[in-house]
Amino acid sequence: MARLRLAVLISGRGTNLQSLIDACAEDDYPAEVGVVISNNPDAQGLERAARSGIPARTVDHRSFRDREAFERALDSALDEAETGLVCLAGFMRLLTPWFVERWRDRLINIHPSLLPAFPGLDTHARVLAAGARISGCTVHFVRDEMDRGPIVVQAAVPVVEGDDEARVAARVLAAEHRSYPLAVRLIAEGRVRVAGDRCVIEGEEEPGAALFSPSSPSGP
């Protein structure tokens, strides 16, 4: 069975890109990174791609007269790479309805919260300000509305007394690095079906124990 070809779109460090690169290096993984594209020529993630021998290119949004021209160029680059699935991994550009519809159900994103809670920016600061005891991350198909769309994978992490933004961010990021490869695997294996506003996962297993925060030696 042919591997699903991924295009990973980045703007910065590319740590989630690295998690996908590492997963794709496994013999039994059903996907491969065909191209890495950044809107930022200085993105560290481009170096990650180069070290792994993955084609990488920059489509700098500042070189285009408007968003439509930028997205047309981006779309052409994705077509040239024979892309099957577009993975947004810290890609800091809002996409127009045209682009989202063009890649509908072939475009996924990862967000550092348990959506639909805390969409948008400054997620970890808002989690702390709200006194939330559990946070996490979400991999979802992209729709016109920011940080909305059928959810493929979520992972939950505790928020504990004394946490600051950096500690919560590190805990969530570690979960992201496991969640994104899992979501791509499920999609590549044909186990994800989009039904309206939600995903149906074929062969989904019964979940394990609940996560409690704060935890107690004597239980909840």
Q: By C-alpha distance, which of 169, 176, 174 is closest to 125? A: 169
Q: How far is the first Cα of the chain from the last one, in angstroms, to the nearest whole number?
A: 47
The greatest distance separating any two alpha carbons of the chain, rounded to the nearest whole angstrom, comes to 62
Say which amino acid occupies 86.
Answer: V
* Strand stretches in the chain, DSSP E: 4-10, 31-38, 56-58, 85-88, 107-111, 134-141, 151-158, 192-195, 198-201
Phi-psi sector, 86: left (phi>0), alpha (psi -120 to 50), beta: beta
Q: Which of 61, 111, 124, 140 is catalytic?
A: 111
3-class secondary structure per residue, 129-192: HHCCCEEEEEEEECCCCCCCCCEEEEEEEECCCCCCHHHHHHHHHHHHHHHHHHHHHHHHCCCE
C-beta of residue 43 within 8 angstroms of C-beta of residue 16: no
Q: Is 111 a catalytic residue?
A: yes
DSSP for residue 17: H
Kindly list the catalytic residues: 111
